[in-house]
Structure 1
């Protein structure tokens, strides 16, 4: 990440932004065309996209569309998964899937398994979700079912961004979100696991504060900040609001992905 050119702002935010759920997004199942469903929901709500708009999309509906369903009863736990499951008091079938979705184990204790996900971030249980996780055509007496995170959320964000930008002739952003806990803080917040079009990080180095002091280390995690704001409206229970419009930002279109938000492992004190 290099300092921004003096006088050039990648992102600007006014005194207010609008955060609005797009109503009427149907339950998504494997094989569904997400961009078609999203555009139809926007049109029913009489909402068009314009320059600077950001659509924040819950990873769960992407996982469902991309058939990331797993029937845990079909997973054969390894010897390591069985031993680890006994140690942390978790179903060894789930532990096996967590290990398959992870690069390494960061922390473990009874009831908790914190891992570095294959996508690069650290999360509990590799982001595997057991809530509303069965496909529509799940056979009777199958399961329990879970959903893994999308295979490549940045690639999905890029495709959605390209399709939406073409449909509305607008310079928009797309962020794919999940929720996570944070070291030393209670509760969960939304964060970006995929992004396209919007700068994921706003590098302020070289800018000055109100007293003329040059900023040397300030960088705002724009995609995560937008994801967290959208998460308040989306909810994490039965709200059924997987697509959120954030309006009021101005930004230069960016080819960077959410990968820019990952801290190098050698510099990550929490990993």
Structure 2
């Protein structure tokens, strides 16, 4: 039988800059009763971490957003989705205006993985227990309504279980199965913590197999952030069209690595009715004649596929090459 237990202690005080979060949590637990044991996973909301680290600022989310934004992904009405400096794609860069003094906002921790490592080490010092730590925040999901908590920081935990190469009971080999167990634990802990109950800590018991040895902190939650060029949805639908038409080099990375020549060839043929020929070493270039009215469209399609547009010796001919 498999069993998971989640305890979210009540009575947490208001956390202020400089507070020791290990002391706060230990004050809520009965160690002699076994409220914290080796192999537990301590879950803490990022807001409490941010308050302890002095990440509260006067102003509004709109005031703070530019400084927390690496790039804008999409805008729809009052909602702005950005990729922040942690690599998280999240509404308003994770800036929060709730459960804080009026006229102030809370920014995400500068380095949530480092925050988790610090809390893990302090809990080891204070209690002697070897536990893992997850720092959580609330995020929406593409294609799904509502939000759930995810891990934005972690220490001492296997954050994802690799199943690729294993076989199921029917003998089928698994190829890309990679459960993000840190996110699963974060979401489960939020069920016990609640949003308005003032319980920023949770202790999850039953997955000691994921907890690493003392002094081994692991890759952290940063390992769950998909690389910029590997994200299939680097921009919103409208924004992708606009960025491709503008063709600014700084906007190229979210479109990913250059697509194969066959894919770009087919796209130009099917959308514009133009046929290209292959040239260059290994056929890595496309040559085509582009009517004046379609020059910008070809350039946009090439940009979106990770290719550059350049002239040839023939005035009417255009050369397409994969961008470096």
TM score, norm. by length of structure 1:
0.80
Aligned to 2:219: 256
Structure 1 residues 129-148: aligned runs within 5 Å: 129-134=96-101, 144-148=103-107
CA contact (8 A) 2:56 2:107 kept: yes
- How many Å separate the matches in 2 of 1:251 and 1:67? 31
Aligned to 2:84: 117
Match of 2:132 among 161, 169, 173: 173
CA contact (8 A) 1:50 1:168 kept: no
Q: Are 1:42 and 2:29 matched, yes or no?
A: yes
The alpha-carbon deviation at position 234 of structure 1 amounts to 1.2
Deviation string 1:36-83 (CA, Å, 9 cap, x unpaired) is 1111111389444222210100111111111111111xxxxxxxxxxx
Match of 1:270 among 230, 233, 245: 233
- How many Å separate the matches in 2 of 1:176 and 1:206? 30
The alpha-carbon deviation at position 161 of structure 1 amounts to 0.9
Q: Closer, same or farther in 2 for the Cα pair 1:102/1:164, shift >3 Å?
A: same
Q: Are 1:155 and 2:114 matched, yes or no?
A: yes
Indicate the SS of the match to 2:206: strand
Structure 1 residues 8-47: aligned runs within 5 Å: 15-43=2-30, 46-47=33-34
The structure whose Rg is larger is: 2
- How many Å separate the matches in 1 of 2:173 and 2:76? 44
Aligned to 2:191: 232
The alpha-carbon deviation at position 96 of structure 1 amounts to 3.7
The alpha-carbon deviation at position 32 of structure 1 amounts to 1.1
Q: Closer, same or farther in 2 for the Cα pair 1:62/1:128, shift >3 Å?
A: same
Aligned to 1:104: 71
Q: Are 1:214 and 2:173 matched, yes or no?
A: yes
Q: Structure 1: where are the runs of 5+ without partners?
A: 1-13, 73-92, 135-142
Q: Closer, same or farther in 2 for the Cα pair 1:144/1:44, shift >3 Å?
A: farther
Q: Structure 2: where are the runs of 5+ without partners?
A: 235-324
- How many Å separate the matches in 2 of 1:265 and 1:96? 26
Aligned to 1:94: 61
- How many Å separate the matches in 2 of 1:214 and 1:110? 45
The alpha-carbon deviation at position 97 of structure 1 amounts to 1.2
CA contact (8 A) 1:23 1:45 kept: no
TM score, norm. by length of structure 2:
0.67
The alpha-carbon deviation at position 245 of structure 1 amounts to 0.7
Aligned to 1:196: 155
CA contact (8 A) 2:131 2:211 kept: no
Aligned to 1:128: 95
How many pairs were matched up?
A: 229
CA RMSD of aligned residues (A): 1.7
Deviation string 1:109-159 (CA, Å, 9 cap, x unpaired) is 21110000111110001111111212xxxxxxxx61111111111101001
Indicate the SS of the match to 2:93: helix
The alpha-carbon deviation at position 165 of structure 1 amounts to 2.7
CA contact (8 A) 2:41 2:211 kept: no
